[in-house]
Structure 1
Amino acid sequence: MSGRIFFTPEEGWVGDIIPFEEDGTFNLFFLHERRESPREGMSWRLVTTQDLLQYHDRGDALVHGSPQSLDFNAYTGSVVVDDDGVHHIFYTGQNPTNRGDDGLPLQLVMHAVSYDGMLHWVKLPEDAFGAPEAYESADWRDPFVFRDEQCKVWRMLLAARVRTGPSRRRGLTAQCVSKDLRHWEYAEPFWAPERFITHECPDVFQWGQWWYLVYSEFSDAFATRYRMSKDRLGPWMTPDSDTVDGRGFYAAKTAERDGRRFFFGWIPTRRGGSDDGAYEWAGSMSILESRQRQDGTLAFSIPREILGCFEYEGKELLPSAGLLLGRQDGFASRMLCDDIPATCRLTVNFTVHAERADAGLLIHASADGDSSHILRLEPKRGRMVIDRWPRLQTGDEQWQISGDVPYLLELERPCDLSTGQHELNIVMEDDIFVACLDDEVTVSCRMEHSWGNALGVFSNDGLTSFDAFVVHALAPASPAQENVALIAKAQDGLDAGKGVGEGVEVES
C-alpha cells in the first residue's frame, strides 16, 4: 500500500494511466515503466483507490507477452464492461521484431477479457488487428472503446497517422465500430484536424448536453488538450483555453464518479534529476478534477480529497493585516520562512491592484530570495508561469546565463488575473509541485534543484496585496476525512459566489 499523494510504485514509474471506475473504486491501470536496458517488455500494473489518498498496489494486471509474442510490449488502451458483466481490455500490442513494410514495428489492437471481476485476464490473440492500408502501420495505438447508445454500437478510437500528406500533420483519431466487441469494422476518421504528428490517448465522455474529446499531443507542445461538441460525433469546437495543464502533466485520461470528472495523468521525471535534464517518459501519477462552467468549457483544480489530507488550519506566515508589497518602478520581495516542509500545502490569498503588477512566489530559495524557483503571476499577459533564476548556465559570465527567454518554456498557463482577489492552492511533495489558481487553472512540474529551503513573495513594477499565506503540514491519517469535509464545505461556498471581487487594499 502506498499513501503518497503522487503515487509512484516502489520499483519503476507510472506511464499512461487507464482509469476505470466501478462500484465507487477507481481501478487505475498503468503502463509500468522500469527503465530497463534492454527492455524486458511492458505490462499493465494496477492500483486501486477509493479516496484518492490511499493506493493499493495490486501488482501486474495484464502481463506482457514473451519476446516472440505480438504483445511483448502491452501499451495503452481502455477497459469496458459489456451487458453480461464481462470486462474487456483493448490494448496496443507491439514487438520490436514484428515489423511492417516500412521497416518499423507494427502496432496492433489486442483484446483480453475477464470473467471474474478483473482478477484474471484471458488474452484473445485471434482478435488482433492492425491499421488499414491508408494508415501507417507503426501508429495504430491507444484504443479507446465507448458505447454509442444512439446507434447501438461500440466505437473504438485510435491514435493513428495517414500515409500521405505533410509528415508533421498526418495525425488523426481513427475509428472502428463493432456490435459484439469481437468483430471490428474500419470507419471514417473520428477527427482529422491535419495539425498534429499524432494525438495520443483519445478519451470521449458526455457531461450534460456536452461531449468532450480528450487527447495528448507532442506537436505544438507536450500537452493534454480537449475539444467540445453537442454531438458525440462532432464537429469539435476549440475552447479559448484548450489545455488541461502544461508540459509537466501528460497523457491524461478520465473517469467519473458521483457526477465528478477526474483527469489521471503523470508528471514526468527529468534526466539526472536536474532542472536542465530532458523530460523522461513516465513519472508519478497526478490527478486533477474538472468543473464544467456554464458555457461548457472546463476548469481544472486539485481534488478536495488531496487538499484535505493536510492540516486544515495551518501556519499563517503573514501578520493579521496582510502584506502590501511592491514599488511603482522596480522589484520588491519579502522572505517569509526558511524551512518549507518536503510535503505541504500552501494557501495564498492575494489582491491584484489597478497597476496589475507581476507578482508571485519564491520557492526553494536562497536566504535572500535571489536564487529560487518562481511561480509568477502576470496579469497584463494573462498567464501564470513557472520560472527559475538563475536559468540554464553555459558558463560563468552573465551573458552565458539563459536570460533571453521569458520563462521556462512549456510551463505557461493562460488565466484570468483581473483586478481583485484571487487564491492559490499549491501542493508540494518532494520535487513535485502542483499549483491551482482560483480553482480554475493548474500548472504542474518538478522542481529538482534547491538553492535553499526559504519561501517568499514578490511584486514587480507595482503593488500587490498578500492577504494570507498559510503553510499546511500533512494531517494525521484519522482527521484527513474531516479536513476533506471542511474543504468541501468551503468549496461549496466558493462555487456559490464564484467571481472576482473589486479588491480591498490592505496595509502592511
Structure 2
Amino acid sequence: MYERGFFRPPQAWVGDVIPWQEDGRFHLFYLHESRRTPKIGMPWHRVVTDDLVTFTETGTALASGGPDADDFNVYTGSVVVADGVHHLFYTGQNPDRRGADGLPLQLVLHATSTDGMRTWQRHPAHTFGATAGYETADWRDPFVFRDEAAGLWRMLITARHADGPERRRGVIAQCVSHDLRTWEPAEAFWDPRRYIAHECPEVFEWNGWWYLVYSEFSESFTTRYRVSRSLHGPWTVPADDSLDGRAYYAAKSAARGDRRFFFGWIASREGGVDDGAWQWAGTLSVLEAEQNPDGTLRFHPPVELAESFDRGVAAVASGAVLSAPDGYADLVVAETAPATFRVDAVFDIAAETTEFGLLLRASDDGDEGYVLRVEPRRNRLVFDRWPRLRTGGEQWQVSGDVPFAVELERAVTLEAGPHRLEVVVDGDLCVATVDGAVTLSTRLYDRTTGGIRAFVGEGEVSVVALEVSTRETDGGASTARHDDLLVTSSS
C-alpha cells in the first residue's frame, strides 16, 4: 500500500487515537494493537504530522505498566497542558484484577511530562476507580478539559450505571478538579440511558456552538455528535448525527486555527477478506469537519489528501450522458486502475432517477466489482459488491436477500441536479464522500485489480466532470481519452 493520508504501523494496527495539537503540529497518540497471543500489554505509541498526509512514528509514548500493574493495558485518554506541564490521563486495565462486579477492573490514571511529551512520569497515588452508582468494570476514556467559566477542570468518563436494563446503562460520567490531581464526582454529564456505552467522549466549543462527540458502543459501532449553545446542554440530535459508517470508529478531534480534524480508524476485517467480521483497530484515517449555519457539521477528507494526488490517469470531458429510463447503462472510465487512485466526479441527476454511481475494480464486462451506489429515491449512499457471498453452487444460492453491505449506508439528500462524488482508494482502503458533506469508509480486500466505471440504473445522469488521478510515484497507469470511452446499456 502506498500509504499517504493514512497510517498503520508495521505488523500492528491503530486503535483509539488521542490527538493533541501544539504549535501547528498534530501529536497523535494511539493504542498500539499488536494482536499478539499471549497478550503483551497495550502501550500508547505516537505519530506526528504537519500536513495531514505524511505521518512519522516516534515509537512508544507510554509503555504497558507490566503484567502486575493496574495499567497492564494502557487504554484511551486525553492530554492537557497547565503551567507548562503536559498532563496525560488514561485508562488502566489488567485482566487479572477484578472489580466488585467480577469483571476486569478499569481505572483512571495520571502521568505528566516536563520535557515536551518525550517522557512521562506516572503518578500512582492519583489513580481512582468508578464512583458510587457506576459499574467498576466500565470506567474509561477520561477526557479532561478546562471550564474557564467555572474555574475548574472537568473530566468526562465512559461509564455504565450499576443497575437498569443491560443494554441501556451507558452514561458519560463526570468528575471535577481544581489541581488535576484530586478529582471529585459530579452530576453525570450526559445520561440518555441508551446503548451499552458511549466511548471516547469529548466536548469542544467552536464559533459559539458546543459539540459532544462519542462513539456508540452498540450494534451500530459508529461515532456520533450532539450540538448545543451551552456546555450544559440541552443537546440536540442533528438529522445526520454520524461522522461516517460502521467501519470508521473512535474518532476524536483536534483543531488548528479555525479548522477541526477528526482522527479515527478504519477497521480491518478478520482474515483480510470482504466477508470477515469487523475487528477492533485498523488504519488511521482523518476527516475534516465544517460547520453549517445551524451548527450541524459536514465531514470529508482534508483537502491535503486530495492535493497529494498529482497525476491524471483518465478524464471524462463534460457532456457524456448515461440514460436508461427502464434499465442500466454504464461507461468505462479506466480499463485498469492503479492500486492507489482518486476519483472526482460530478453527476447531474435527472428527476426520478433510481440510482447511479461508480464501480471500482470492476471486471472487463462490469459484472463483478465493488459498487458505490447513490440512490436519490432513498436519499442514501451505500457500499455493495458483486458477487455477494455465495451460499451454495446453485444460481439462486447467493445472499440476494441482502440489499448491500447493510452496515455501510449513509443518509444524504439528493435532489435533482448536480452532485459530487469523490473517492479515494489506497490499497484495501476506500473513502467516499458525497457533496463534501457525507463520508463512507470501508475496506476492499478480495478484488485487488480491475477497472473503473460510472453507471446509472432506471434514470439519467450527465457526467459534468470526471477525473481519475494517482500519485507520481505510483506509476504504471496510462491516460485514456474521452473518445475511447465505451457506453453500454440494457433495458
Cα deviation per residue 1:210-233 (whole Å; 9 max; x = unaligned)? Answer: 100000013241100000011112
Q: Which residue identity lines up with residue 443 of structure 1 in the other structure?
A: L
**Range that drifts further, 374-383 or 333-342:** 333-342
Show the counterpart of 2:424. Answer: 427
Quick one: which amino acid aligns to residue 403 of structure 1? Answer: G
For 2:61 and 2:265, how far apart are their aligned partners in 1? 19
Map of 1:402 onto structure 2:
399
Contact 2:16-2:30 at 8 Å conserved across structures: yes
Instruction: Confirm or deny: 8 A CA contact 1:309 1:475 kept in the other structure.
Output: no
Structure 2 counterpart of 1:114: 113
2:337 alignment partner in structure 1: 340
Moved more, 385-394 or 159-168: 385-394
Structure 2 length normalisation: TM-score? 0.94
Structure 2 vs 1, CA of residues 353 and 126 (structure 1 numbering), >3 Å: closer, same or farther? same
**Is the aligned partner of 1:53 residue 2:53?**
yes
Q: Partner residue of 1:503?
A: none
Q: 1:369: which partner in 2?
A: 366
How far residue 243 of structure 1 moved from its aligned partner, in angstroms, is: 0.3
Comparing 227-236 with 467-476, which one deviates more in the overlay?
467-476
Distance in 1 separating the partners of 2:368 and 2:472? 30
Displacement of 1:475:
4.0
Q: In structure 2, how many angstroms separate the alpha carbons of the residues matched to 1:125 and 1:398?
A: 63
- Structure 2 counterpart of 1:449, from 446, 450, 457: 446
* Residue-by-residue CA offset, 1:455-486 (whole Å, 9 max, x unaligned): 11111111111222211111469xxxxxxxxx
Is this contact kept in 1: 2:5–2:286, CA < 8 A?
no
Where do 1:356-505 residues align within 5 Å? Answer: 356-450=353-447, 452-475=449-472
Which moved further from structure 2: 39-48 or 402-411? Answer: 402-411
- How far apart are the structure 1 equivalents of 2:365 and 2:85? 61
2:318 pairs with 1:351: no
Secondary structure of the residue aligned to 1:189 is strand
Q: Once structures 1 and 2 are overlaid, which stretch shifts more, 2-11 or 135-144?
A: 2-11
CA deviation digits over 1:104-162, x for unaligned, max 9?
Answer: 11000000000111111000011100002311100000000000011011000011000
Cα deviation, residue 303, structure 1: 0.2
Partner of 1:67: 67
Q: CA deviation at 1:451?
A: 7.3
User: Which stretch of structure 1 is more off in the superposition, 215-224 or 270-279?
Assistant: 215-224
> Is 1:153 equivalent to 2:152 in the alignment?
yes
Match of 2:480 in 1: none
User: Is this contact kept in 2: 1:316–1:468, CA < 8 A?
Assistant: no
Q: How does 1:256-275 map to 2 (within 5 A)?
A: 256-275=255-274
> 2:192 aligns to what?
193
CA distance, structure 2, for counterparts of residue 13 and residue 264 of structure 1: 14
1:282-313 residue CA offsets vs partner (Å, 9 max, x unmatched)? 110000000000010000011011111111x6
Distance 2:132 2:392 in 1: 52
Residue 411 of structure 1 contacts residue 443 of structure 1 at CA under 8 Å; is this kept in 2? yes
Is contact 2:318–2:463 with CA below 8 Å preserved after alignment?
no
1:328 aligned partner? 325
Q: CA deviation at 1:194?
A: 0.9
Structure 2 distance, partners of 1:36, 1:24, is 35
> How far is 1:3 from its partner?
5.8
Q: Are 2:332 and 2:453, in contact at CA under 8 Å, matched by a contact in 1?
A: yes
Q: The residue matched to 2:419 in structure 1 has which SS?
A: strand
Cα deviation digits, residues 344-375 of structure 1 (max 9, x gap):
11111111112223101111111111111100
Does 2:224 align with 1:225? yes
Cα deviation 1:184-213 (Å, max 9, x = unaligned): 001110001111110100011100111000
Quick check: 2:210–2:231 contact (8 Å CA) kept in 1? yes
1:296 maps to 295
Q: CA RMSD in A?
A: 1.5
| Paired residue type of 2:338 | P
Q: Which amino acid aligns with 2:48?
A: T
Paired with 1:377 and 1:428, the residues of 2 have a C-alpha distance of 18
Q: Distance in 1 between matches of 2:318 and 2:408?
A: 33
- Name the CA distance, whole Å, in 1 between partners of 2:377 and 2:279: 33
The residue that corresponds to 1:33 in the other structure is 33
SS state of the match for residue 190, structure 2? Answer: coil
Match of 2:312 in 1: 314
Q: Deviations over 1:415-459 (max 9, x none)?
A: 121111111221110010001111111000001111741111111
In 2, are the aligned partners of 1:143 and 1:157 still within 8 Å (CA)?
A: yes
State yes or no: 1:18 paired with 2:15.
no
8 A Cα contact 2:47 2:57, kept in partner: yes
Asked if structure 2 preserves the Cα contact closer than 8 Å seen for 1:326 and 1:458, the reply is no
The Cα shift of 1:336 comes to 2.4
Distance, in Å, in 1 between the alignment partners of 2:451 and 2:270 is: 25
Aligned-residue offset at 1:376: 0.2
Count of paired positions: 474
* TM-score, length basis structure 1: 0.91
Q: Could you give the per-residue CA deviations for residues 480-505 of structure 1, whole angstroms, max 9, x where no partner exists?
A: xxxxxxxxxxxxxxxxxxxxxxxxxx
Q: Which amino acid aligns with 1:237?
A: T
Task: Report if aligned partners of 2:352, 2:377 keep a CA contact under 8 Å in 1.
Answer: no
Structure 1, 401-410 or 238-247: larger mean CA deviation: 401-410
Name the SS of the counterpart of 1:221 in structure 2. coil
2:270, 2:278 within 8 Å by CA — same for their partners in 1? yes
The alignment-based identity, stated in percent, is 54
User: Closer, same or farther in 2 for the Cα pair 1:113/1:321, shift >3 Å?
Assistant: closer
CA contact (8 A) 1:5 1:429 kept: no
2:154 corresponds to 1:168: no
Q: Aligned partners of 1:54 and 1:450: how far apart in 2?
A: 27
2: CA distance between counterparts of 1:392 and 1:326? 30
Question: What are structure 2's unaligned runs of at least 5 residues?
Answer: 475-488
Q: Which runs of 4+ in 1 moved over 6 A?
A: none
Query: What are the ranges of 5 or more consecutive residues in structure 1 without an aligned counterpart?
Result: 478-507
Cα deviation digits, residues 245-301 of structure 1 (max 9, x gap): 001110000000011000100001101111100011111000000000001000001
